């Protein structure tokens, strides 16, 4: 069983979205995790070691990462650590990698407008895409909420301030 980690890191570059031959979305991000500690003599924070890891997410999560995150953002990420191995020019190489299961911007440093992913709610986890967008072009998610959204009970305005319970 591979170790699962949850941590706060920073994207060192923009997410790189691509598609497999079978049209499954995959995104790669490089994350930097820093350790900071308080120097008791100077009473100032100092950066310690930095751990860099390449993270990968698949299907709708991959598309959402590409639409939402950008270089420099601090994120909270959960995933499984693994070792990538490959051979190039007769030399064996390996490096740590992270299979991302969830990732979100740290709202201490960013403002996010959250909207439900209609494709994800319909159980479309198979990587089917109804429309391809160029990399970096965000999909507008304005318009009426899904019909099965319990929070969207005010038909005149589309939403309600009252919880559905």
Residue 62 lies in a domain: yes
What CATH number corresponds to the domain at position 63?
A: 2.40.50.140
Structural domain includes residue 42: yes
Do the domain assignments include residue 137?
Answer: no
Report if residue 133 sits inside a domain: no
* pLDDT recorded at residue 128: 40
Least confident of 44-53, 78-87, 136-145: 136-145
Question: For 22-28, what is the mean pLDDT?
Answer: 93
Q: Which domain range does residue 104 map to? A: 4-121
55-109 tens-digit pLDDT = 999 999 999 999 999 999 999 999 999 998 989 999 999 999 999 999 999 888 8
Position 15 pLDDT exceeds 90: yes
What's the domain count of the chain?
1
Could you tell me what percent of the chain has a pLDDT over 90? 48
How far apart CA 6 and CA 84 sit, in angstroms, is 19
Whether the Cβ atoms of residue 36 and residue 47 lie closer than 8 Å to each other: yes
Q: What is the pLDDT of residue 153?
A: 47
Residue 32 in any domain: the answer is yes
* Residue 37 forms part of a structural domain: yes
Structural domain includes residue 48: yes
Residue 146 inside a domain? The answer is: no
């Amino acid at each position: 069983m591979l170790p699962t980690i949850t941590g706060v890191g920073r994207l060192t570059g923009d997410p790189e979205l691509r598609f497999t031959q079978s049209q499954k979305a995959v995104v790669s991000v490089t994350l930097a995790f820093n350790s900071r500690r308080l120097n008791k003599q100077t009473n100032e924070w100092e950066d310690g070691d930095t751990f860099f890891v390449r993270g990968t997410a698949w299907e709708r999560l991959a598309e959402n990462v590409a639409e939402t995150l950008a270089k420099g953002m601090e994120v909270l990420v959960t995933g499984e650590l693994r070792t990538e191995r490959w051979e190039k020019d007769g030399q064996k190489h390996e490096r740590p990698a992270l299979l991302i299961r969830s990732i979100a911007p740290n709202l201490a440093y960013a403002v996010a407008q959250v909207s439900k992913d209609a494709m994800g709610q319909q159980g479309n986890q198979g990587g089917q895409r109804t429309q391809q967008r160029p990399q970096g072009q965000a999909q507008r998610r304005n318009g009426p909420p899904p019909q099965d959204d319990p929070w969207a009970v005010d038909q005149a305005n589309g939403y309600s301030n009252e919880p559905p319970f």
